[in-house]
Amino acid sequence: MAKTTVEGGGGLPAAAKEAAELKRELQRAVKAVVEDDDYSLEATDRAMQCLCALKELKLKPLNSNPLDIRSLSLSLPIPPHEFVCPLSGQLMKDPVVLASGQTYDRPFIQKWLKDGNRMCPETKQVLSHSVLTPNHLVRKMISQWCQKHGIELPGPSHDEDLETITNADRDHLNSLLEILSSSNVPEKKKAAKEVRVLTKQMPSLRAVFGECNDAISKLLNPLLSGNVTTHPDLQEDLVTTVLNISIHDSNKKLVAENPIAIPFLVESLKSGTVETRSNSAAALFTLSALDSNKHIIAKAGALKPLIDLLNEGQPLAMKDAASAIFNLSIVHENKGRAVAEGAIKVIIKKIRDRVLIDELLAILALLSSHHKAIEEMGEELGAVSCLLSIINEETSDRNKENCIAILYTMCYNDRTKLREIWLDESVNGTISNLAKSGTSRAKRKANGILERLDRCVSLVHTT
């Protein structure tokens, strides 16, 4: 085991000896900077590196090996000064851009802001807000430099708890919301775009909408002054902002109960860019996490445009639409609404095409508890053969379980379907195989169908 308290002659503790060496190195580096008018950046970087090593040594636990610090701090190549955080003097792991345009390592600038500082450490410029924007270019350059020199750089660490909402941030957001109430369309669009970006990049800012009684109404104010669909970019930004703030749990009830919000999202499902319609569906899915909101959203007429969006087949939007339909259909009365709006025909068509099978089978299984859904599935040609074929395919246990659950319900409500299942069973043994190898729930459903088939066969023979 390496010695940790004494090393070499003179009886100096190892840590003290290490510190002495670092100080001598620091003196040489500082002397080169102070005495040479044309000093190099390498000399300043070397001085900062020595200071960082001294700091590490000071913080290093007494029972650790002091040589580790020296080998870590003094043997590494000196990084370009653009890669070094001005606050820490260390290679940046998660470079972010401050409102002043300067780049810092995230944890150090977050601490600076959390300590109450309201100006840029470098430029001394008063900050209009404290949003930190990832500097992907610098991050990529640092990663390439580390790879070249065989250095492992830890991934960025985003600690939302460190994110500080200042009065300046609140004032900035309020000023943008006020602009949204103005009649100047270009300024309104610019403000809507910035609010969208802020609520995406600064998750803790979303909570401000719940703190101010009229913040959501101010955000949606442009809807009161005319048809927002005539400005697709404005519509898209407002929809996406509603999605962003709805992610915050405390805002879900506030957004859904705002008289403008849900009708706006429903209308946006019908028109606008693909991203607008997709984000509208995503927002409704997020809001429908609350049972009370499920009723509000469905009563506002959301299911029909969601089903239409699913039917159109835009890959970007289909999954969001399916997720929203599933959540809304958890409420029994909404199952009837979904069936009445044509959900069964669209879902079976998509399943036949092997589109979003996981999501759509889950919805179909959910809707199958409604008698109208079973009636429509019975009328839909090929529904039984489609479900049987999925069970025979290499699909997930969850999908097979949903298929057999739907078939079980169909058999118990429509005896005519038993003949189609019996014909398949006599050739492929689909149900019997699942009764042996399926999940416990799938086995129960499969055995229930087999028992019913046996009774029907026995009845035929006795008659």
Judgement on whether residues 230 and 322 belong to the same structural domain of the protein: yes
431 within 8 A of 443, measured Cβ to Cβ? no
The answer to whether residue 395 is domain-embedded is yes
Q: Indicate whether 270 and 405 sit together in one domain.
A: no
In a domain, 335, yes or no: no
How many whole angstroms separate alpha carbon 10 and alpha carbon 255?
72
CA dihedral 264, 268, 270, 275 (to 10 degrees): -160
457 and 406 inside one domain: yes
In 3D space, the residue among 391, 306, 317 whose CA is nearest the CA of residue 357 turns out to be: 391
In a domain, residue 53? The reply is no
Q: What is the pLDDT of residue 57?
A: 65
Are 211 and 269 contained in the same domain? Answer: yes
pLDDT at 154: 62
Same domain, 230 and 140: no
Token output for 24: 């001598």
How is the beta sheet containing 133-134 ordered, strand by strand?
Answer: 103-105, 95-97, 133-134
DSSP states of 284-348: HHHHTTSHHHHHHHHHTT-HHHHHHHHHHT-HHHHHHHHHHHHHHTTSHHHHHHHHHTTHHHHHH
**Residue 106 sits in the same domain as residue 203:** no
**Do 207 and 280 belong together in one domain?**
yes
287 part of a folded domain: yes
Report d(CA 96, CA 145) in Å as an integer.
Answer: 18
CB 200 within 8 A of CB 194: no
Asked if the structure places residue 274 within a domain, the reply is yes
For residue 240, the domain's CATH number is 1.25.10.10
| Of 368, 360, 369, 367, the residue nearest 321 (C-alpha) | 360
Mean pLDDT by 10 residues, the chain (463 residues): 36 60 74 66 68 67 38 58 86 89 90 80 82 87 84 60 67 92 89 94 87 88 74 93 92 94 94 92 94 95 97 89 95 95 95 92 94 86 89 88 94 83 90 92 93 73 46
Q: What is the pLDDT of residues 375-389, one digit of tens each?
A: 888 887 788 999 999
**Cβ atoms 447, 435 nearer than 8 A:** yes
| Segments forming the whole domain that contains residue 408 | 351-462
Report how far residue 130's alpha carbon sits from residue 95's, in angstroms, rounded to the nearest whole number.
Answer: 15
Shared domain for 326 and 387, answered yes or no, is no
Q: Calculate the CA 148 to chain-centre distance.
A: 32
Check residue 119 and give its pLDDT.
85
In a domain, 28, yes or no: no
On whether both 217 and 108 belong to a single domain, the answer is no
**Do residues 74 and 53 lie in contact, with contact meaning Cβ atoms separated by under 8 Å?**
yes
CA distances from 41 to 29, 36, 48, 83 (A): 11, 12, 11, 13
The pLDDT score that the predictor gives to residue 463 is 45
| Same domain membership, residue 362 and residue 392 | yes
Considering the domain architecture, whether residues 191 and 320 belong to the same structural domain is answered as: yes
CATH code for the domain in which residue 86 is found: 3.30.40.10
pTM, 2 dp: 0.67
Task: Write the CA distances from 268 to 276, 296, 338, 423, integer angstroms.
Answer: 7, 16, 19, 47
Give residue-wise pLDDT tens across range 339-371: 999 999 999 999 999 999 999 999 999 999 998
| pLDDT for res 43 | 64
> Which of 330, 363, 394 is a domain's end point?
330
129 and 215 in a single domain? The answer is no
Among 263, 297, 330, give the residue marking a domain's end. 330
Final residue belonging to a domain, choices 124, 149, 174? 149
> Which of 326, 379, 306, 305 has its CA nearest to residue 348?
379
pLDDT at 160: 46
Give backbone dihedrals phi and psi of 223, rounded to 5 degrees, phi first.
Answer: -70, -25
Q: What share of the chain is helix, strand, coil (3-state, %, to 5)?
A: 70, 5, 25
> Is 337 a domain residue?
no
- Evaluate whether residue 344 is within a structural domain: no
Total domains, the chain: 3
Place of tokens 């009886």: 11
